[in-house]
Amino acid sequence: MARLFGTDGVRGRANDQLSPELALRLASAAVSVLGADANSRRDDVARVRPRVVVGRDPRASGELLEAALCAGLAAAGADAIRVGVVPTPAVAYLTADYSADFGVMISASHNPMPDNGIKFFAAGGHKLADDVEDAIEAAMDAPAPRPTGAGVGRLHDAPDAEERYLRHLAASATARLDGLTIVVDGANGAASTVGPHAYEAAGANVIAIHSAPDGLNINDGCGSTHLDVLQAAVLEHGADLGLAHDGDADRCLAVDSTGAVVDGDMIMAILAIDMHERGVLTDDVLVATVMSNLGLHIAMREAGIDVKVTGVGDRYVLEELRNGGYALGGEQSGHIVIPASGTTGDGVLTGLLLAGRVAATGTRLADLAAVVTVLPQELINVPVSDKHAVAVADSVLSAVADAERELDGSGRILLRPSGTEQLVRVMVEAGTADDARGIAERVAAVVAAV
């Protein structure tokens, strides 16, 4: 049977695969696993019920799933602290700030509106390890005691949740944004209110677009996966830069004053150099995934910064950051993690730090981003019957070796099975787009023939 938890929580079409019944069972199981030692983490030990922070993005189905989750929590004897519509990193932060035993975020991030998801954070706001997720999944089918009377959990609203998170963002910023004009695309999602407020509080003149969520329009032709409207708005308003978030605001991509996209690799380079100059980039190390462009590696080497490479997915970045005690990591998608300021990627914080570098240096974002020369990249997804077997077939390995000899250090080839589909992904970077495409097509043809 397929594992219920995916790479980022439990996701599916809301009220179909992700039903309220499933949400209720998940919540009750999470209490039995994550709330078992609640009192050992508490100063006020007289309170015996676990406490759980519950947040959501503005999808219409979030209301349904929030009700089901809170019912499951209360039925299992836990108190739910409802923080309303806030970004995913806010739930992670508030889980620690409220001294909660765990947190739950209801969101499908950048996915379209019919989808939704449930993501758990352990005490302190940390993502769950695989074995903990497996324990929750196993507990869903185990009989659980149901308290009665005073043992039943209670529901509490937290009217100060957004203000607490905004204070955290302000304390984490490194520079004022006075004099900057910033277009902010909230993706009609969780950052629609918080994002503009944070940038305005830092002194920026903010032009907010896609900041009117109605429950149905999240990620609909907007946000970090659809940058064309932001590009046009930056040019129309003569803004210094534009910032785009995804539905739950754990990502940030940017647009410079010329309308050019500044991706996650460029953002990581800018922040790494800033932290390197300030002496806060631990061991002068940046953590990135195998999908980051070779241009990032070249730029970091020239800046005296080492790049530690992980597998694809923010959980692997987080693991490397924790294991090495490093200060900065992220993905090309704009999911940037700064452990000193948060336990997960925070798109609004990333935007504050990026804009802060522009303001502090008086340098255009386009010029800051120019430190990275992006090599042309070609990605081909090849459908296969057995992705793991195909990826290690002799003919495929031989084709990859031939490609590496042809590139001779001027580019790279990456071949990997998809994490979620029966696909083998062939990615090639080379000095020209034609070279990247030609090599990728040749290797993809060998993959398809296996």
Q: Which residues line the annotated binding site?
A: 109, 246, 248, 250
Listed residue (305, 307, 303, 330) closest to 318, CA to CA: 330
Q: Which residue among 109, 192, 292, 341 is the active-site one? A: 109
Active site residue 418: no
Q: Quick one: CA torsion of 364, 369, 373, 374, rounded to 10 degrees?
A: -130
Helix, strand, coil percent values for the chain (each to nearest 5): 40, 20, 35
CB 242 within 8 A of CB 230: yes
Q: What's the order of all strands across the beta sheet hosting 377-383? A: 377-383, 423-429, 412-417
Paired with 379 in beta bridges are: 427
User: What does 324-337 look like in DSSP terms, one character per residue?
Assistant: HT-S-EE-TTS-EE
Q: Which residues are annotated as a binding site for Mg(2+)?
A: 109, 246, 248, 250
User: What does 358-381 look like in DSSP terms, one character per residue?
Assistant: HHHHT--HHHHHTT--PPPEEEEE
Per-residue tokens: 251: 């990502």
Listed residue (167, 252, 230, 249) closest to 201, CA to CA: 167
Alpha-carbon distance 339 to 346, whole Å? 10
Alpha-carbon distance 307 to 318, whole Å? 14
CB 334 within 8 A of CB 251: yes
Phi, psi of 368 (to 5 degrees): -65, -40
Place of tokens 């490397």: 320
Q: Which residues are catalytic?
A: 109
